[in-house]
Amino acid sequence: MAYYRQLGSVPPKRHTQHRDPDGHLYYEELMGEEGFSSDSSLLYHRGVPSAIIGAEVWELTDQTRTPNHPLKPRHLRLHLLFPVVEERGTSVPEASVDAVTGRRLVLANNDVRISYVVTGTDASPYYRNAIGDECVYVESGSGTVETVFGVLSYRAGDYVLIPRATTHRWLPGEASRLYPIEANSHIAPPKRYLSRYGQLLEHAPYCERDLCGPTEPFTVEGTDVEVLVKHRVSNLPGGVGGTRMTYATHPFDVVGWDGCLYPYTFNIEDYMPITGKVHQPPPVHQVFEGHNFVVCNFLPRKVDYHPLSIPVPYYHSNVDSDEVMFYVGGDYEARKGSGINIGSISLHPGGHAHGPQPSAIEASLGAEYFEESAVMVDTFAPLDLGEGGIAAEDPAYAWSWAGRGPDADGPDGGPAVFSNS
Ligand SMILES: [Fe+2]
């Protein structure tokens, strides 16, 4: 993120003395990417940012990965992972978990991990991800995220972008359905949207005004504060492990910062879809990119206006990608008859063509508008299933284009006849 911001108290010249009203020096920290060669910010702390008094193992939830083998398209019903009950007219999770430790791993490879969690209103522990940036899509709910840079508010439709190693915690104001996309790299707007100096260009579907960062510093007094750190551990599943660090003074002690590295939110309502006379390919829907993966969103829009256009997609073999669609709103035209619904994920792996259910093609002719919202992650390396992905699978999906599959008694155990066949 190359958009400069400055908040709170910073000295006029970097790397010079900066003191509080009583004359005590603030401690300057450079938080920067790619070894002093990319975006960075300078933060001014009241306490010493490296002063820890304890470090213990933090046991993560199950990070086991199971290969997609035999290769199949998959339908994962994420809403099954966190049962809800009705209380005073709203849905709340049966068991309250927080936005960090409650995550269940759905899909993962060595570049990105996708998980899912439905929170109650409990605050998460203080946390930072030292493996890469996080992009958390808010399917529903609202609240705030306190960070060392200041406070973000979040609402349904937001992507919450948290740079690597940013200490933060989630405080849901209500039950929140969250879809964390954790990178092993940085997550940023696609390079083709940016000028050579980093400004979002005119053809980009969003601009700097749409990115909501913290607006004032946020400081908390405290000592002996625990922070959960997710980091690389070579001998654990997925190379991912955790440490519980205890800080001598509260990590939220930054009185001012400036730079081009900070957390922000971006709401899908601020994404201006690009449409065409015939079907436009998914790259026009791209919102972010990380190393070896992209994030796209398919949003309510006018559709193709050629008189003979077919508004739903053609069948496609993305020979270099696994495609993960998370259906979050509206009425998904191309998937009518597949069992896909709000809260579903479809995984369409590289090496297998996919596209609409056949009946959806004719049904789409003459459509002028699609009322649909989906968040897509395309990865360039194959994705494994996490324990949450396996628990949420609809085994009939792979056969839904043909309308028949193996016998119910066969090795795959799927039913032989489908309601949409
Ligand atoms: Fe696709």
Q: Give the mean pLDDT of the chain.
A: 93
Cα of 165 vs centre of ligand 1, distance in Å, is 33
Q: Nearest Cα to 321, choosing from 284, 354, 361?
A: 354
Q: Reply yes or no on whether the pLDDT at 285 is more than 60.
A: yes
Cα of 297 vs centre of ligand 1, distance in Å, is 12
pLDDT score, position 356: 86
Cα of 325 vs centre of ligand 1, distance in Å, is 8
Which residues on adjacent β-strands are paired with residue 40?
Answer: 32
Chain length of the chain: 421
Which is higher by pLDDT, 94 or 42? 42
pLDDT score, position 333: 63
Q: Give the model confidence (pLDDT) of 311-354 as tens digits.
A: 888 998 888 999 999 999 987 666 777 889 999 999 999 999 98
Question: Average pLDDT of 75-93?
Answer: 90
pLDDT score, position 360: 84
Q: Nearest Cα to 263, choosing from 83, 73, 127?
A: 127
**What distance in Å separates the CA atoms of residue 142 and residue 134, rounded to the nearest whole number?**
18
pLDDT score, position 418: 32
Low-confidence winner among 90-94, 171-175, 213-217, 276-280 (lowest mean pLDDT): 90-94
Give every CB contact of residue 170 below 8 A, 6+ residues apart in sequence. Answer: 98, 99, 100, 119, 123, 124, 143, 144, 145, 176, 178
Give every CB contact of residue 108 below 8 A, 6+ residues apart in sequence. Answer: 63, 65, 114, 238, 383, 384, 386
pLDDT score, position 146: 98
Cα of 20 vs centre of ligand 1, distance in Å, is 55
Question: Average pLDDT of 9-13?
Answer: 98
Cα of 208 vs centre of ligand 1, distance in Å, is 29
Cα of 216 vs centre of ligand 1, distance in Å, is 41
Are 206 and 265 in contact by the 8 Å Cβ rule? The answer is no
Cα of 217 vs centre of ligand 1, distance in Å, is 42
Q: Reply yes or no on whether the pLDDT at 391 is more than 70.
A: yes
* Cβ density class 74-103: b for 16+ within 10 Å, e for less: bbbbbbebbeeeeeeeeebbeeebbbbbbb
Q: Reply yes or no on whether the pLDDT at 413 is more than 60.
A: no
Q: Reply yes or no on whether the pLDDT at 415 is more than 90.
A: no
Q: Give the model confidence (pLDDT) of 126-140 as tens digits.
A: 999 999 999 999 999
Cα of 15 vs centre of ligand 1, distance in Å, is 49
Question: Average pLDDT of 378-391?
Answer: 98
Cα of 281 vs centre of ligand 1, distance in Å, is 9
Q: How many Cα atoms occupy the beta-carbon half-sphere of 50 within 13 Å?
A: 5
pTM: 0.95
Task: Provide the pLDDT confidence category of residue 419 given band limits of 50, 70 and 90.
Answer: very low
